[in-house]
Each structure stands twice: as C-alpha cells, then as structure tokens.
Amino acid sequence: MMAKKDVYILSIESSCDETSMAIIKNGCECVYVTILTQMDTHAEFGGVVPEIASRMHTENITMVFEETLQKAGMTMDQIDAIAVTYSPGLLGSLLVGVECAKVLSLVYDKPLIAVNHIAGHIYANQLERPMEFPLLALVVSGGHSDFILMTGDYEFKHLGGTLDDAIGECYDKVARVLGLKYPGGPNVEKLAREGEHTYELPIPMNDDTLDLSFSGLKSSIINLVHNEEQRGNEIRKADLARSFQDTAIDELARKTEIAIKENNIKYMIIAGGVSANQYLQQEIKKVADKYNVTLSVPRLKYCTDNAAMIGAAAYPLFLKGEFADLSLNASSSEEIF
C-alpha cells in the first residue's frame, strides 16, 4: 500500500493586529509560523486603530509570506491548499488576508479554505495533542466568552456564554481605567500578581445557568475608580486588578464546573486570547482534576492570534473537500454556528 501523502496547508491570519502566516503539516504540526504584531504601534493609541491595522497588514503581508516559505524551507509546489481567516474580526484587516489568500490560490492554482477565527482558536489545541470528542470548549477572547460542546469536527453546540461583554473586553477596559498600557489583559494579570483580593465586587450572574455577564463587574470597577478619584482617594491598583481577576475567573471556573457536570464531560479545552492567563488555566485545571477531565490548553504562542491555529482548523475542511471559491468575502459577524 502506498503511504498516505502528507498535507501541507499555508494559512493566513490578519483579523486584528497580527499579520501571521504558517505552514501546517497534517493539521497538527507547525512547520513554521511567522507572527508579526502591530501591538507597539496601537499601544500609543490605547487600543487597535482599524485604519492603521489594515494599512500595516497591506504593507507587511507579502514580506510575511516570503519569510514563512523561506524559513520553512519550502516552495509553493509543496503546498496543498491556502487557508485564511474570513470572520470575525476587523473588516479592513480581514480583507487584506482574504485578498492575499485569493491571489495565492489563483496564481498557484491551490484550493482555498475559509476558516472562522474562533474555530481557529479551538483548533489551536490540535497543535498540542489530538482533540477527543465529545469535548467542552471554553472560548475566552476579546469578543467571546462561550461554553461550546463539540461532538466531532465542526460539530458545535452552544451551551451558554456571555449575555453582554466578553471577558477579554472587560480585561482591556479595566486596564484602561487603571492606566495600564494596551494590550490590557496581560498587564492586568501581571499587576494582579502583586495584589490582594481586598475590593468587594459584584459577582457576575451568580446563578446556575451557563449564561455569563461581565458588564456589571466592568461598570462597578469604572464607577469605583471614578468615585475614589473624585474623593481624592488613592486606588490600590494591584489590589483592584487582583479583586477583578479573582471575581471574573472564579465565576468562569464555577460555571465550567456546571457545564462539566451537566454534560458528563471527560475532555476539555480552553481557547482564545484570555486562555493565556495563568490564573484562569490554574483554576480551570482544578475543576478539571476534580472531575477527572483531561484538560488541553494551547501553548502561550498559540493562545493569542496566530496563523498556525488557522492551518490546524483548515485541515478537517480540507479532508472534507469544503473549499471556498474566489467570491469569498470577509465578514465581521460574530457567528461560528
């Protein structure tokens, strides 16, 4: 019998402020990934400026393409398909990646694969070890906080999630009121390590459903900071960061426990930018261990936006022959289902 041919996918991610390309072998092995972040530029403005983001993607994407092929030591002859994030994200940023992918597909005559960004975050776990279904995915990013049950590849069932703000958005807003630099999440986490949980904050939702809500917690912190400033009182920033982080993540851990029990979960993954948070990883691990659930977390580099996860998520679509045509367009819709 002839050995099965290896599949190499060239993948592109440009949905926010990282211009990234990767070559992924058989959906699980990263041959090479280039991640060019614009973080320092946007930090000057306190957040991502969409117009600047898309211009920088345009400037850099061909260079990232050349570098990725060169560092991987490969040529386009060896590539089986081109994958790209088409949704969700900043429209102008997504369009740069989508157009690049369409041109590469046309010029090199390779099939095109459209990948949802959140599916990408989930499949980042495939780069660590094969995912086992059914699994529970906790998706925590700048735009999502969701519990998803996966019964197979691309079989997503939404179990619950935030009714208002995503947890990443909340981290970023808290960072801003505390005067921390963009990107907020990692800076709040760092500061929280130096503080104590001394501020009493409202617990989000506090019920037994899989709904989440972070806007009340966010507003209470904004109000607290403004009130203390008006009274001329000093804010213990590290303590507030710690109190916020404990409150938000303890709620996520508590709801994770409910999701595990209700769905008899044996395998679980965490996905999305906030999965880089060490306290979150630690608290979810405690819950997983309590129920003998195997927990998979992407390595730090694959937690935040990168093209390797897009190549991993493209592989099952490649196997199914689910290809996009050249009419593929970018979309800012938050839907994955």
Residues of this chain that bind Zn ion (CB under 5 A) = 141, 305
Count of CA atoms in the C-beta half-sphere (13 A) of 76 = 12
As a whole number of angstroms, the distance between CA 127 and CA 129 comes to 6
The answer for 161, left when phi > 0, alpha when psi is -120 to 50, beta otherwise, is left
Sign of CA dihedral 127, 123, 303, 84: positive
Task: Give yes or no for residue 195 binding ligand KG4 (CB under 6 A).
Answer: no
- Residue from 9, 10, 16, 149 touching ligand KG4 (CB under 6 A): that is 16
Candidates 47-55, 100-108, 194-202, 271-279; binding stretch for ligand KG4 (CB under 6 A): 271-279
Q: Which residue, 105 or 245, has its beta carbon nearer to ligand KG4?
A: 245
DSSP code of residue 105: H
- Residue from 160, 273, 298, 311 touching ligand KG4 (CB under 6 A): that is 273
- Residue from 277, 287, 307, 310 touching ligand KG4 (CB under 6 A): that is 277
Instruction: Report what 298 binds from Zn ion, ligand KG4, none; CB cut-off 5-8 Å by kind.
Output: none
Least distance in Å: CB of 91 to Zn ion?
Answer: 15
- Give the residue carrying structure tokens 């929280």: 192
Q: Which residue, 119 or 135, has its beta carbon nearer to Zn ion?
A: 119
CB pairs under 8 A, 24+ apart, for 68-76? 68/10, 68/21, 68/22, 68/23, 68/32, 68/33, 68/34, 69/10, 69/23, 71/32, 71/34, 72/23, 72/31, 72/32, 74/8, 74/23, 74/31, 76/10, 76/104, 76/108, 76/110
Least distance in Å: CB of 185 to ligand KG4?
Answer: 2
Least distance in Å: CB of 20 to ligand KG4?
Answer: 11
Instruction: Report what 189 binds from Zn ion, ligand KG4, none; CB cut-off 5-8 Å by kind.
Output: ligand KG4
Task: Give yes or no for residue 185 binding ligand KG4 (CB under 6 A).
Answer: yes
Q: Which two tokens stand for residue 200?
A: 């009493």
Q: Which residues bind ligand KG4 (CB under 6 A)?
A: 16, 117, 121, 141-143, 168, 171-172, 183-186, 189, 272-274, 276-277, 304-305
